[in-house]
Amino acid sequence: MSRPDNRDFKRLFLADTPMMDTRSPGEFAEGAFPQAVNLPLMLDDERARIGTCYKHEGQQAAIALGHQLLQGAIKKARIAAWLDFAQTHPEGYLYCFRGGLRSRISQQWLQEAGIDYPRIIGGYKAMRRFLIHQLELSAQHRFIVVSGQTGCAKTRLLQGLADAVDLEGLANHRGSAFGKRLGGQPTQIGFENALSIALLKRRHAAPQAAIVLEDESRLIGRIAVPEVLRESLRQAPLVVVQMPLPERVEHTFHNYILRNLADWQAYAGELSGFATFAEELRQNLATLQRRLGGYRHSQLLAEMNAALAEHARGNPDAHRFWIEPLLRDYYDPMYAYQLGLKAERVVFRGSYAEVAAYLGEER
């Protein structure tokens, strides 16, 4: 029995329903949903040609051109990809931009191939509008913001909490000048979509519980935290993780050195991965040169280069010699100043374990 078309966006997102996005690759790249797979009806150049035809000759001529372009082996290949998705995800749905012609054609071709597959009414545009509204509703929810000096393992703490949303994870960036992650960042729209869905899930799972977020600046890498959410977070109570400098150096060393290098070498191979990792470290430090000052930057760069030379010989331990002064002399004073501006919002201070226990009780 075939399933009906669907416009229950909330249920679709809460269930992580698989979605077949039939928009062009260019449209998908601008913004998509976490559970969507791009299996386009038309590629970008095909869509551009049909769009030009529609503009100058009207809808019927554009449809005729579409059928001319999408026939034979091209049509068979696209239907085969859709059939594979539909058979792998029988609970899924398909959509195009507005839920109109492209998704109906995709439905029809699948039907002719023997599968009735439902579409999402209103398409991407309606779902995007829904998520923008949900983000505005989420911004009215109760929040707790976790703060702490660089290297306090705040992200790891959040990942252990049921009611937390990891902004840095969604942005695929650790937040600092050294925070780039392999794979790059999503688009701004893609980040907002994923954030809205994550907040919706937290609100649905525990409507009365505060949602825990990390204290972030306006930008996480190149991704902007939506202003409607930032305004709420500026009023939220603050919980501060306190950790001794040696422990923060170790956490930074393991995450920004050992883990980053392992990621790069798994992606690019041992030698090429190390070279890329080393160059990225130097570039990250260079972005701080103006704020560090020329003398302090040159000192840290010399320590970094010496550590990289040792690391290339198999001993990564010397990285601690530049990580410690960078944390102590650059990040810590900046953090102290920023926290001073928010002092009246602090409701709890404690060690990693104490903050984790406090947040568990707060839930």
Q: Which of 20, 32, 96, 213 is catalytic?
A: 96
Other residues' Cβ atoms within 10 Å of the Cβ of residue 326 = 24
Kindly provide the b/e burial profile for residues 30-61, where b requires at least 16 CB atoms within 10 angstroms of the residue's own CB: ebbbebbbebbbbbeebbebbeebbeeeeeee
CA distances (Å), origin 250, targets 34, 150, 319: 33, 11, 10
- C-alpha 135: how far from chain center: 15
Q: Does the annotation mark 152 as catalytic?
A: no
Sign of CA dihedral 324, 157, 278, 269: positive
Q: Which residues pair with 94 in a beta bridge?
A: 20, 119
Element (H, E) at 93: strand 93-95
The 93-95 sheet, strands edge to edge:
36-38, 19-21, 93-95
Cα–Cα distance for residue pair 273/278, rounded to 1 Å: 9
User: Which amino acids are annotated catalytic?
Assistant: 96
